[in-house]
Amino acid sequence: MARFLEPDIGTRAYRLATGVNEAIMTAANEPSLGLYRLQEHCIGNIPKLLKERQSIEEISTRVKGNNFDLTYDIEAVKEMGKVDNFTTVISDLSQAIKLKERMNTREMEQKVQSRGVTPPRTLPSYGSTGESPPLLRRSDGYSINASSRLATPPNYHGTQIQPKNFK
């Protein structure tokens, strides 16, 4: 008889689990509790998001400025080719370089002549095949062959360099 007065353990466990489950669902789905959890999330993450947004805006501003500068620079370089002064400067620089090479050649020839030695204009034959020896460049600009004989002064190629408009 005691058995009928007391429900069995399985039924009691089922009722207990159902009651606890309903209590948890009610507490979890209560509107004020949901709003509290949303508030916690916002308080924790919004400052981080604002810092990221500010950083992205600064980077965007720098990129826009660099893009503007680059576009302007590209246009300026394109326009430089159309300006006559730059082409004149380039040709004048080329003439000045050729003139300086000629002056260096004459100066070296004068130094060699003042020593009483004239440099050969061509290299003597090399070996039985008539090949030229390999040339080495010295620090003073002269080329020397493998046997250490003076071959040619710097920038001397058998012809005189004549810059344009030079008299």
Could you tell me if 145 and 138 are in contact, meaning their C-beta atoms sit under 8 angstroms apart?
no
Q: Do 63 and 29 sit in the same domain of this protein?
A: yes
Q: Do 36 and 86 sit in the same domain of this protein?
A: no
Give the C-alpha separation, 17 to 11, whole Å.
10
Q: Do 86 and 48 sit in the same domain of this protein?
A: no
- Whether residue 39 is contained in a domain is answered as yes
Residue 160 pLDDT level (bands cut at 50, 70, 90): very low
- Whether residue 153 is contained in a domain is answered as no
Q: Do 66 and 86 sit in the same domain of this protein?
A: no
- Whether residue 90 is contained in a domain is answered as yes
- Whether residue 61 is contained in a domain is answered as yes
- Of the candidates 149, 141, 142, which has an alpha carbon nearest to the alpha carbon of residue 123? 149
Q: Do 40 and 89 sit in the same domain of this protein?
A: no
Per-residue pLDDT tens for 16-64?
Answer: 899 999 888 887 777 777 788 888 989 999 999 999 999 999 999 999 9
- Whether residue 158 is contained in a domain is answered as no
Q: Do 58 and 26 sit in the same domain of this protein?
A: yes
- Whether residue 120 is contained in a domain is answered as no
pTM to 2 decimal places = 0.34
Q: What local confidence, expressed as pLDDT, does residue 77 receive?
A: 86
- Whether residue 93 is contained in a domain is answered as yes
What count of residues does the chain have?
167
Could you tell me if 116 and 107 are in contact, meaning their C-beta atoms sit under 8 angstroms apart?
no
Could you tell me if 135 and 122 are in contact, meaning their C-beta atoms sit under 8 angstroms apart?
no
Give the C-alpha separation, 125 to 5, whole Å.
131
Give the C-alpha separation, 138 to 102, whole Å.
19
Number of domains in the chain: 2
- Whether residue 53 is contained in a domain is answered as yes
Q: Do 60 and 13 sit in the same domain of this protein?
A: yes
Dihedral (C-alpha) 6, 10, 13, 17: value to the nearest 10 degrees?
Answer: -140
Per-residue pLDDT tens for 91-108?
Answer: 899 999 999 999 999 999
Give the C-alpha separation, 99 to 152, whole Å.
19
Q: Which domain holds residue 52?
A: 9-70
